[in-house]
Structure 1
Amino acid sequence: MDEVKNNILDAKDFAFKLREMVTLLEQRTRNAKIQEYLYRHVASSSIPKQLLCLALRLAHEHSTNAAARRQLPSPELVPALVDDSYFHFVLASDNVLAASVVANSLVQNSLRPEKVVLHVITDEKTYSPMQAWFSLHPLSPAIIEVKALQHFDWFAKGKVPVLEAMEKDQRVRSRFRGGSSAIVENNSEKPHIIAAKLQTLSPKYNSVMNHIRIHLPEVINFQKCYANISFIQSLQCLVSTFLFLQLFPSLNKVVFLDDDIVVQADLSPLWDIDMNGKVNGAVETCRGEDKFVMSKRLENYLNFSHPMIAENFNPNECAWAYGMNIFDLEAWRKTNISLTYHHWVEEVITNINHIVFKQNVTILSIQ
């Protein structure tokens, strides 16, 4: 300003210099935001030493301590696993500590803990630590079952569409093998988009546990999931209930809990909800309070320039919150959802580059 007052700079030069200063400050602000997001990503994706040591200690305990290998549940309680008079909850997780938090909060807030049955499903790697934890820290009078996916015959012997989709998805996911450095070096992206892309690199989204509980898009003739829901929501429902039916062929209703929630109330009233023949009950959400999470509208995940997408789906449709879903498996068995599911999974796999992935693999983190 002094230079302008002293006629050292004319208005044009002043405007040019001011623009340079503003651009420099904007760039510094952008770099600071991206650095914050990168540090946040590293902190959230890394495994703290204490947690790693916990899993290793539990695995050792499982191999050396008979008490850590005891049958869950005890033989006299096994009939409750298929008894529909109990409240059956499903938790799919490969994180022992997270599963413990969900289980403890569920039982502590239940008004009838003796009627709670929690089915914990994990992967082969985490099975020993998970069983050791719940064997050594029982939640009586609630009933806890711990199983690895590999314990199910249908998983070990047959083709699993979810796993086939995961394998074929690798060619799309490989675009981001450059890791976080490749993402943050993109100067054309807005900081919040970079933050969302960093989230997709989380190991959680590459875990089979994430894929067996939630997934892709709705089918046009799909009438039994929640009315007026989107393509993505319905295939979420398809995959989840398809797997639940194979996991729990004798149960009529289950509640799925994600491993990043804390139960704060008694959930037994969920069994009193009249779902009117629908398969899935969930809370619709378009955007949470987390500013780092991209909007959950379809326009952010599907390529609406593709005719098949544009003709059948609404870009403003919202996804649902999958932290807690209730599934009516009896209603599911009355439908032909499994055929519809297979059709759409194959459709998505065939056209995966053109239809689903508008921006990286964020769709998998949300769905």
Structure 2
Amino acid sequence: MDKKIELQMRNAAINSSRNFNNKVRGSYNIWRQEFRLVNTDSTLRLMKDQIIMAKLYATIALSQKEPDMYALLMKRIKESQTSIGDALIDSELDSSALERAKAMGHVLSSARDVLYSSGEVSRKLRVMLQSTELNIDAVKKQNSFLVQHAAKTVPMPLHCLHMQLTTDYYFRDYVTKEHFDDDALKAGQYKEKLEDLSLYHYAIFSDNVLAASVVVKSTVANANEPEKHVFHIVTDRLNFAAMKMWFITHPPQLATVHVENIDNFKWLNSSYCSVLRQLESARLKEYYFKAHDPSSLSDGNENLKYRNPKYLSMLNHLRFYMPEIHPKLEKILFLDDDVVVQKDLTPLWDVDLKGMVNGAVETCKESFHRFDTYLNFSHPKISENFDPHACGWAFGMNMFDLKEWKKRNITGIYHYWQDLNEDRKLWKLGTLPPGLITFYNLTYPLNRTWHVLGLGYDPAVDIAEIDNAAVVHYNGNYKPWLDLAISKYKPFWSKYVDVDNSHVRRCYEGKQ
């Protein structure tokens, strides 16, 4: 650019600062009608731009031994920063902001007259830009780590609830004995219900009592015939007592709940189950835990989300063993523990899956959430067997036809691909990539209103879409039981929390 033209442009900008008028000329529109603001942020943006230029000139003044100019620039920077404070729009600025902006404009004009050199200014701007980019990258990494850390940490109130329930289960014998005696009387009818093909069966795998209780309560509350619904909950040894105690003392009205311990599945061993063998391997533990090992999940070579403990939990992989867990059933609806049911789900049992094994809602939009998002298509085993543009779908609410499952040997297909992926070259950790592979060309697309996703990461999910959904899913880090939760989505979940329970009140009293 010609130096004369550049000087003219800079003079025009400085004159604009001197003569700046703070009058609001119109409203500012960001994407959607609901985000319209009465006030603009034009003054705020101007002041921030002025601060950047003042810092630039201050560094030049320091290098050129102009202490008076340096001191004046630093004074104006401090004044402007004080006026801005935490403001996001002009109306939140300090009343002195406009005068500060004008004063800064005069100082920048003087600095330009004394210090301006296009080469020096360009060089300093490049240095500032590079430094800012490095700072942004560092903050992004730190933010990602902190979000992941917060997402995988068990909140103290939830830990408290589990401890209280576990104590009740083991030490309040008079409570459990009464319920177990009653259970013994119903044992015959109870067992029949667990295998009754005329009833509606649900599979839930969870180590979170509060989350599982919301899934069950919301489903029953919206069911037309709650007495026909049977919930099969599998949890781990650590949380079995708490989960069992909750549903002993809070049985859903008319519906049936059966809680099992994953350790009681004797068929689930490393000789049969590929992923269990891999989860127990030293290689995977090294990959997962040793941050400084070349093969590990360091910040530089992998996404931090794979450090979430759920990827090492066998509960997360039980969805691939439905016929082994429920050998007498023909259809079962799988629900994640971070969903809320808002409508009667029984019509799903009448959906014709057209010979497919898995009924699920597809998630692809344009180029997003297609197979190449999840799988490594540079590997020949993937590129030769799958279409990179095939549409992805969601786990979280899935209707499984167990007769077709057995017929097509779905668990065998899953084992085959898990064995091939022992070195994690086909996909990283998680259950969706092997799910996409296992159920490839065996998934029937359900209407999107059955399952609306994104409440655990996307603040822009349409509220009307949520209201119309049969199931809403808090997939992502911002679970509704965490402080991280997106506040406008939390009521959809919290209204099904049993706040009258004494343990819930005691453990959560400081969170109200």
TM-score, length basis structure 2: 0.56
Equivalent residue, structure 2, for 1:122: 235
Deviation at 1:365, TM superposition (A): 8.8
Equivalent residue, structure 2, for 1:26: 133
Paired with 2:126 and 2:288, the residues of 1 have a C-alpha distance of: 35
Deviation at 1:340, TM superposition (A): 3.3
Paired with 1:171 and 1:163, the residues of 2 have a C-alpha distance of: 13
Contact 1:4 1:10 in 2 (8 A): no
Q: Report the CA distance shift for 1:140/1:158 in structure 2 as closer, same or farther (over 3 A).
A: farther
RMSD of aligned alpha carbons: 3.0
Larger relative contact order (Cα-Cα within 8 Å, sequence gap ≥ 6): 1
Paired with 2:345 and 2:401, the residues of 1 have a C-alpha distance of: 15
Paired with 2:229 and 2:353, the residues of 1 have a C-alpha distance of: 21
Paired with 2:425 and 2:298, the residues of 1 have a C-alpha distance of: 25
Pick from 148, 151, 158 the counterpart of residue 261 of structure 2: 148
Contact 2:228 2:255 in 1 (8 A): yes
Paired with 2:396 and 2:328, the residues of 1 have a C-alpha distance of: 24
Deviation at 1:63, TM superposition (A): 0.8
Equivalent residue, structure 2, for 1:354: 425
Does 2:296 align with 1:204? no
Pick from 314, 319, 331 the counterpart of residue 404 of structure 2: 331
Equivalent residue, structure 2, for 1:44: 151
Contact 1:258 1:324 in 2 (8 A): yes
Deviation at 1:162, TM superposition (A): 3.4
Paired with 2:245 and 2:274, the residues of 1 have a C-alpha distance of: 31
Contact 1:118 1:144 in 2 (8 A): yes
Paired with 1:273 and 1:28, the residues of 2 have a C-alpha distance of: 53
Name the SS of the counterpart of 1:154 in structure 2.
coil
Contact 1:68 1:133 in 2 (8 A): no
Contact 1:59 1:132 in 2 (8 A): yes
Equivalent residue, structure 2, for 1:276: 354
Q: Percent identity?
A: 36
Equivalent residue, structure 2, for 1:174: 286
Give the aligned residue type for 1:264.
Answer: Q
Q: How does 1:1-367 map to 2 (within 5 A)?
A: 5-6=112-113, 8-66=115-173, 67-68=175-176, 70-71=179-180, 74-75=186-187, 76-155=189-268, 159-168=272-281, 171-172=283-284, 174-178=286-290, 186=299, 197-213=303-319, 240=320, 243-286=321-364, 296-349=369-422, 352-357=423-428, 361=429
Contact 1:102 1:259 in 2 (8 A): yes
Matched residues, number: 318
Judge which range, 156-165 or 103-112, deviates more: 156-165
Judge which range, 48-57 or 151-160, deviates more: 151-160
Judge which range, 204-213 or 131-140, deviates more: 204-213
Paired with 2:431 and 2:219, the residues of 1 have a C-alpha distance of: 29
Larger radius of gyration: 2
Q: Report the CA distance shift for 1:363/1:83 in structure 2 as closer, same or farther (over 3 A).
A: closer
Contact 2:297 2:307 in 1 (8 A): no
1:75-105 CA-to-partner distances (Å, cap 9, x unmatched) read: 1322111001100001011111111111111
Paired with 2:269 and 2:288, the residues of 1 have a C-alpha distance of: 30
Give the aligned residue type for 1:354.
Answer: K
Deviation at 1:151, TM superposition (A): 2.2
Q: Report the CA distance shift for 1:198/1:337 in structure 2 as closer, same or farther (over 3 A).
A: closer
Paired with 1:362 and 1:7, the residues of 2 have a C-alpha distance of: 61
Name the SS of the counterpart of 2:318 in structure 1.
helix
Q: Report the CA distance shift for 1:365/1:100 in structure 2 as closer, same or farther (over 3 A).
A: farther
Give the aligned residue type for 1:32.
Answer: V
Deviation at 1:113, TM superposition (A): 0.4
Deviation at 1:305, TM superposition (A): 2.2
Contact 2:334 2:398 in 1 (8 A): yes
Name the SS of the counterpart of 2:389 in structure 1.
coil
Paired with 1:106 and 1:201, the residues of 2 have a C-alpha distance of: 31
Deviation at 1:184, TM superposition (A): 11
Paired with 1:151 and 1:25, the residues of 2 have a C-alpha distance of: 55
Q: Which ranges in structure 1 are unaligned for 5 or more consecutive residues? A: 214-239, 288-294
